[in-house]
Amino acid sequence: MTKIQLPGVSFPVSCLCLGCAYYGSRESESDSFYLLDIYYERGGRFLNTAHEYGRGLSEQTIGRWMRSRGVRDEMVITSKIGEDLTKPNSRAMRPHELHEDINETLSRIGYDYIEFALLHIDDPDIPVESILDTMEEIRQAGKILYYGCSNWSVERMTEADSIAKKKGYKGFCMNEIEMNLARRSIPNKDRSTKWLDESFAAYHRKTQMAVGAYSPLAAGALTKMMEEDGIERLSQYGRTAYLTPYNMEIARRLAALASETGYTGAQLQIAWLLSQPYGFPVFPIIGPRTPEQLIDCLGSLDIDLTPGQLSYLKPDRGVYIE
Ligand SMILES: NC(=O)c1ccc[n+]([C@@H]2O[C@H](COP(=O)([O-])OP(=O)(O)OC[C@H]3O[C@@H](n4cnc5c(N)ncnc54)[C@H](OP(=O)(O)O)[C@@H]3O)[C@@H](O)[C@H]2O)c1
């Protein structure tokens, strides 16, 4: 699998990151190990998890897999800290909470450091400076190599960039945010998680900060919307977030291109992200549930979309550039 260089990071990472959100919970340990083995055999070395996923089961499963295969030195691990679903607003960004999270994350994974720790969900009530001071402390203690954010607003990321510059900190190395061919119909201000709209695209073009694109298949909604009975199979969230005329048109175009090229809808969506037609570095974080889905997703690595196909898949020119 090709590796890409993220700006400001000293080592390259696999161009396709494996999302492990449900490992050890929805997916059993043996099913999770099987998915990890397939990804590894295809050259994948970049895993994504979070302190909150499965209340620790995801991190534990990844750690056990790396130990059982003896591959820790080859892998790059991202985990996310600073979210606590037991709290009414999910946020846990005070210094002692971030320290507790990273210590627990490392003990669950079973190694003394991870490469990337991201702040999972922002808490605008906590000053950015206090959060950055804490992440620098964690980095300088050798528990992480780099830190970044997820689901932060452009305003707070910009503030973090200027504080980091002023204080000589490493600052954020990446932003993990929803990014896919769909447009989520729930506005960013109405949810704590964020999707990459025009304002985020402008920020990333200007700063060249890398994007970890989560939900690259719009949580599976677009592939379902390509099929005749697919709308009935959308989850309640899938309907609310993605069932719009714009996204139906994207699904129609995906189906047409799939039938013309022989690639699947999932492959085309991931290949579109891998083609980077938007002016800043992006790596998709895929979330296949089954081995068949994973093998299908990995097929996107062999696709070269033509400029005509890339622009066919994006009828709006807002977020993306040629
Ligand atoms: N930072 C954050 O706040 C955040 C939020 C969300 C996710 N993430 C990260 O991103 C990862 C991926 O997110 P995601 O699960 O939303 O990704 P996704 O790839 O957009 O959606 C995954 C779903 O798509 C469907 N799917 C996957 N591969 C398919 C294929 N080849 N053909 C047809 N359908 C396919 C499956 O739906 P069915 O199960 O219905 O078959 C699967 O459950 C997570 O594991 C996590 O690490 C981060």
Provide DSSP, 221-263.
HHHHHTSTTGGGG--HHHHHHH-SHHHHHHHHHHHHHHHHHS-
Whether residue 123 is predicted with pLDDT greater than 90 in this model: the reply is: yes
Residue 168: CB partners within 8 Å, gap ≥ 6? none
Contact 63 CB / ligand 1 (< 6 Å): no
Contact 54 CB / ligand 1 (< 6 Å): no
Whether residue 49 is predicted with pLDDT greater than 50 in this model: the reply is: yes
Integer Rg of the chain from CA: 19
Q: For ligand 1, what atom is nearest to the CA of residue 118?
A: 1
Model confidence over 223-273: pLDDT tens digits?
A: 999 998 999 999 999 999 999 999 999 999 999 999 999 999 999 999 999
Phi-psi region of 97 (alpha: psi -120 to 50; beta: other; left: phi over 0): alpha
Under the banding of pLDDT at 50, 70 and 90, the label for residue 322 is very low
Whether residue 319 is predicted with pLDDT greater than 60 in this model: the reply is: no
Under the banding of pLDDT at 50, 70 and 90, the label for residue 277 is confident
The architecture CATH gives domain 3-178: Alpha-Beta Barrel (3.20)
What amino acid is encoded at 138 in this protein? I
Residue 236 and residue 193 in contact, taking contact as beta carbons nearer than 8 Å: no
pLDDT of residue 129: 98
pLDDT of residue 190: 83
Whether residue 320 is predicted with pLDDT greater than 90 in this model: the reply is: no
pTM for the full model?
A: 0.96
Model confidence over 169-206: pLDDT tens digits?
A: 999 999 999 999 999 998 888 888 999 998 999 999 99
Q: Mean pLDDT for the chain?
A: 95
Lowest-pLDDT choice from 47-56, 81-90, 102-111, 127-136: 81-90
Under the banding of pLDDT at 50, 70 and 90, the label for residue 85 is confident
What mean pLDDT comes out for the span 102-107?
98
Contact 269 CB / ligand 1 (< 6 Å): no
Model confidence over 13-31: pLDDT tens digits?
A: 999 999 999 999 999 999 9
Is the alpha carbon torsion for 98, 48, 242, 281 positive or negative?
Answer: positive
Helix/strand/coil for 295: helix
**Domain edges within the chain:** 3-178
Q: In whole angstroms, what is the distance from residue 150 CA to residue 51 CA?
A: 13
Pick from 207, 231, 211, 212: nearest CA to 221:
231
Under the banding of pLDDT at 50, 70 and 90, the label for residue 321 is very low
Pick from 273, 266, 279: nearest CA to 314:
273
Cα 21 to averaged position of ligand 1 atoms, centre (Å): 9
Model confidence over 129-160: pLDDT tens digits?
A: 999 999 999 999 999 999 999 999 999 999 99
What mean pLDDT comes out for the span 264-285?
93
| Ligand 1 pocket, mutate which of 214, 234, 283, 297 (most atoms under 8 A from CB) | 214
Whether residue 299 is predicted with pLDDT greater than 90 in this model: the reply is: yes
